[in-house]
Chains A and B, each alone.
Chain A
Amino acid sequence: SQQGEEDPQALSIQEGENATMNCSYKTSINNLQWYRQNSGRGLVHLILIRSNEREKHSGRLRVTLDTSKKSSSLLITASRAADTASYFCATAGASKIIFGSGTRLSIRP
């Protein structure tokens, strides 16, 4: 399966600290995407990184992709209470996107 698997499953950090989440997958991909989901709501697309890219930034987000290791990481810098949510990686093959199980991030005040 090309499904991404996030690590850790849950992460609790102090406000202001950086949060790093990892994603591993098994097969070749066209791109890898990260999404955020607040409790009981729909997912929000954060960033897409293509298979020929190694790093991408968007505001306080930094995503890396290592296709040789079949892994990606999402770094959120200077975390805020509003960053509390579940974060999912999604791997895109030729015709569909498969989501992982997510990392639940909690930001402590």
Chain B
Amino acid sequence: ETGVTQTPRHLVMGMTNKKSLKCEQHLGHNAMYWYKQSAKKPLELMFVYNFKEQTENNSVPSRFSPECPNSSHLFLHLHTLQPEDSALYLCASSPGQGDGYTFGSGTRLTVV
């Protein structure tokens, strides 16, 4: 247990479904992140939240919608995804931006 909890661990969804990924940390960190990890590709930064405010959107398609209701929780809402969106989605937090990250175990997403 790293202190960053992601649920669910695995998710299979159809292209017309709507689902949400959840991330929770109680480390007192101020920054939270969503990353996408596809096979044979570097980790792709998707979104950055600092003190609950979104500070980075790395040209992510609108079918991915983040939400950060407070500094401990981060969601990634998914709708009308494509098969190429299948990947491991990782949440991370850090005390401040640029500090070492604590990662969750990830959600393995499969879009069918």
Contact = CB atoms under 8 A, between A and B. Distances in A.
Q: For B2, B55, B97, B98, which residue has the most chain A Cβ atoms within 10 angstroms?
A: B98
A33 B2 contact: no
B56 A42 contact: no
Given A40-B108, A99-B43, A101-B42, A92 B98 contact: yes
Contacts of A99: 35, 42-43
A69 interface: no
Q: For B42, B55, B88, B99, which residue has the most chain A Cβ atoms within 10 angstroms?
A: B42
Contacts of A20: none
Interface in B87-112: 88, 90, 92, 97-106, 108
Nearest to B91: A42
A101 B37 CA distance: 10
Interface string B15-41: 000000000000000000001000001
Which 7 pairs of residues, A with B, have the shortest CB-CB distance? A42-B103, A99-B43, A92-B98, A45-B100, A43-B103, A42-B105, A101-B42
B45 interface: yes
Given A40-B88, A96-B56, A99-B43, A31 B102 contact: no
Interface size class, chain B: 20 to 34
Contacts of A45: 100-103
Nearest to B106: A42
Interface of A: 3, 30-31, 33, 35, 40-45, 48, 88, 90, 92-102
B81 interface: no
A30 B103 contact: no
A95 B42 contact: no
Nearest to B58: A96
B48 A43 contact: no
A108 B56 CA distance: 41
Contacts of A94: 97-98
Nearest to B2: A42
